[in-house]
């Protein structure tokens, strides 16, 4: 093949979106309720969630990164939000473990973090 990568020129089958994200949990029902009650993730009884249209970032990080929090956490879920400050305040009111710091990235947006009841660090992103 010459010029370009196969996925760019239609030469190979490719994924078209994220079909699901699955979490192990000591208390699956409780963790699902936390995501519903604290983040407003309104999945149905089968876990189907109709999210708003928008971009999804897929990025890899060095294995030693501290960005995900606990070194044992191999992936981090990132949710888009409309108003980061309002979401972080809502989470704090509900007693969630919210990181004090936020991060602003010019042209990208603002970021904040919360840890769910099972210890998974979650990134919240208000796109620019």
Predicted structure pTM score: 0.86
The CATH topology of domain 57-127 is 2,3-Dihydroxybiphenyl 1,2-Dioxygenase; domain 1 (3.10.180)
- In the chain, where are the structural domains located? 57-127
pLDDT 10s per residue in the chain (128 long)? 455 566 566 789 988 889 999 999 999 999 999 999 999 999 998 999 999 999 999 999 999 999 998 888 999 999 999 999 999 999 999 999 999 999 999 999 999 999 999 999 999 999 99
DSSP codes joined into one string, 38-90: HH-----TT----PPP---------TT-STTSSTT----EEEE-S-HHHHHHH
């Amino acid at each position: 093949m010459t010029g370009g990568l196969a996925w760019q020129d239609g030469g190979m089958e490719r994924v078209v979106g994220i079909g699901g994200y699955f979490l192990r949990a000591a208390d699956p029902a409780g963790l699902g309720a936390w995501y519903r009650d604290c983040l407003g993730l309104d999945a149905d009884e089968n876990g189907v969630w109709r999210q708003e249209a928008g971009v999804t970032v897929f990025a890899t990080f060095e294995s030693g990164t501290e960005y995900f929090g606990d070194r044992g956490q191999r992936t981090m879920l990132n949710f888009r939000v409309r108003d980061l400050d309002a979401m972080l305040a809502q989470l704090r009111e509900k007693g969630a473990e919210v990181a004090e710091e936020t991060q602003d990235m010019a042209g990208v947006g603002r970021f904040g973090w919360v840890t769910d009841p099972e210890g998974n660090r979650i990134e919240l992103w208000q796109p620019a």
